[in-house]
Amino acid sequence: MKRRDSFLFSAMILSLIILSSCQTLSRKTVQDVPATSKPPGVNVLVDGKLAGKTPFILKLERKFPHSVRFEAEGFRPVEIQITRRRPPLGETILTNAVWAPVGAVVCALALAPLWDKVSPGEDDLTPLVYSYIIGLAVGWGTGVIVDRTSPRSFDLVPQTLSVEMEKVENTEAETRPAVIPMDAETFRQLRWIRVVSR
């Protein structure tokens, strides 16, 4: 009997860790970032390495910030910094509410036999209710902690890149990338960016 209880308890803990983290399970380690340009066919370099030509969907790892550069002969290059943004804590808490009942059921099934041993005289429903409440708290809390520490929970911003290349004479001074100044708060709120320079 002890072996069964140990197995159920271990299975419950493992299930809570695996099933409770909604963002960690539902997100890939890479994020798709569409990159388009006017004119099309512009080279796209990610962190200094050629990734492809526009139109192109970049597959960027969520773990790191990235530098994306658009280059074409006879045009001024455009460089965009992709940063990581963690969703607000409230969003993480709410997305894990989906998995809290799963943790509760697993916990209730695993802990009910243990409650029966600890308090054998109580009615049959009380241990299940206690186990369910503990499971809700543990499932939800574990999910939030896992998601807040997982690299998968980050969003890369901006999420869409669209640039209009500026024609230039072929001099070194004119082929430096255009710099787009903005304050940190505005940059954090970006969802997509379109660069048009004339």
Which tens digit of pLDDT belongs to each residue from 64-104?
A: 899 999 999 888 898 898 888 888 887 777 777 766 667 66
Q: Is the dihedral of CA 58, 48, 52, 163 positive or negative?
A: positive
- In Å, what is the CA distance from 128 to each residue of 3, 43, 94, 110, 135? 21, 61, 25, 10, 10
- In which band, very low, low, confident or very high, does the pLDDT at 15 lie, cut at 50, 70 and 90? low
**Whole-angstrom distance, CA of residue 7 vs CA of residue 114:** 12
Collapsing DSSP to helix, strand or coil, 137 comes out as helix
The answer to pTM > 0.85 is no
Residue 35 has pLDDT above 60, yes or no: yes
Question: What are the DSSP calls for 29-44, one per residue?
Answer: SEEEEEEEEESS--EE
- In which band, very low, low, confident or very high, does the pLDDT at 30 lie, cut at 50, 70 and 90? confident
pLDDT of residue 89: 80
